[in-house]
Chains A and B, each alone.
Chain A
Amino acid sequence: MRDSGRPEPPTVVVLLAPGGAHDAHALRQVLAGLEEEGVPAAVETAAAHDCVALAERAAERSSLEVGVGIAADGVCLTHRALHGRPPLEHLLDPVVASRARCLGHDAARLVTGIALKLPAG
């Protein structure tokens, strides 16, 4: 619940540090993975260059406790319960599209409780 009193819809939060075309590509794949699994996402932008820190902030904001960070250094997925610990998945730049897609699936599966795909590497 926010100050307005309206319940916030449940979403996985994706925090994006806009930086270039490759970020947009990663974002598209992550969102596609979430959408295919049927879990809603909210994209917000932030100025940062560390995807791990962004993912932690995103997880703090997400009502589903799952956050994705996308910055120039890569893509990261974490859960609020893992705060301060190594993130679940961390793809370094340059990010392969199929692995970003897997990460999106896993972001959704953390919410729905389905075994993760875990992009290799």
Chain B
Amino acid sequence: MSKDEITIRDFCRRTGQLVELDPGHFLLLPPPYDKLDIQPKFTRLSEENRKKLESDLDGVSALKFPRPQNEDEKRVLVEKFLSGLKKLFDRQENWTFMQPLFLTMEFCAKCQTCAAACPIYNESGRLDIYRPTFRSDILRRLYKKYVKTGGQFFAKLSGNDIDASWTMIARLMELSYRCTVCRRCAQSCPIGVDNGLVTRELRKIFSQEMGITVEPLHAKGSVNQLRTGSSTGMSRTPFLDNVEFLEEEVEERTGMKFKWPMDKAGADILLIHNAGEFLAWPENPEAFAIILEAAGISYTLSSDLCAYDGVNYGVWYDDVQFAKVALQHAEVARRLGVKKIVIGECGHAHKALTVIADRVFTGEHNIPRESSMTLLHEIIKSGRLKLDASRNDDMTTTLHDPCNLVRLMGVVEPQREVLRAVSNRFREMEPHGVNNYCCGGGSGFAITKDLNFPDFRNQISSRTKLRQILDVFQDIIEPEHKKYVCAPCSNCKGAMRDMFAAYGLFERCNILYGGLVELVVNAMVDIDKPFIEWEWH
């Protein structure tokens, strides 16, 4: 069934599961993963979950949405969906994205140039349902029929008529979580149509109107963050304890004893990390602290609500949640009276605060925001750190470009300059820079870990990144060579952690992933012991 052609008509009308995902149909990987038997298996949902949860798209459930029990429930859901659909095209309800969405709805020439750019579509073995325009064409038809004047009549005339049934909406709901919003498709579109935006706007109907979102983004994500201070659930006291522990660890690893500046009013910079770093990759905030201390930068961390967690998941599914979190970040910066906010190694936090929030902040909240990549570059250029790149000579490095930081924000060179300064054996993946491929964890995928969604992520959405990593190191793929994928983004690291584990990349090929600052500290001549511990954790 998996290679069958699926039309929009099938999508709307066919009953049962549309597509069965089969690793045998996915694109072949480079060695040593060119044999199916060493690739991970694709877990099927249990029979019970299939019966219970909406999974008729491809047998994967990101949303864990229970199947409605009767026709009445279905009818209510369809009505809500249509009400949300109309709001997407209302200038007040959706001022945030109405114009770009309208342009995308009106001007697609259906040339399918975008299809070749999409890693998910290609890696899946070109399954129709993942083609970038598949999702958009459905929304376009619904928009033309249910939102535009005279739509019902013209829909019949044009041969594009589809009905908003629950079967279709349930599939569309899951389909809006099969795209990482990497916007590679939009970049290749000759007209400037944006299928990634369609994904995001669809998610908004489900979240803002129907209250349906993947749990890690909303209930455990932005709601948790606004309630406890961090999407990790870490409130102020455990955060402060954590920092204290990291201070001790820094002393142990480097011999440097210093307090991390905390809640310091009047500092030049408020540095905001992704809070996941403190828990999963503490060496990253440690390395930042070491560099900023050694360079004598005036900065502070904050233990205030949201300000020690740069994540803003709203950027992927909900404008209101986005604005709430962004304003919290700005509010703390305002209270501290800092000159600017600097965002740590987290791609989506970068885009959220610098680009997206730029049209949310006004007056005193409009405090300048800057990337840590540029700050690091400036520090390195200034010569304030004594560095010896040969200290990283035992490993070959490559750089992953986080979509949010690079394609969607244009921060391309600073991190490269830094990496070149600390690694003699740096090589670029192809393609790279603004033409990069997503890690596969974008738009919330990295933190969506329930049921069999990680199989989709590891085997389909992260597959191109895996391919690029294997390709760039192909001549030294044997485990005797140490290889390091520098990924200056918590989210990308999250996706890589899972993908590396699923394929056994560390054990089989001796490839490790990590941030940029760790490499910098590893090259600092004043620190005796290597900072990077070459082990999988």
Q: Do A and B bind each other?
A: no
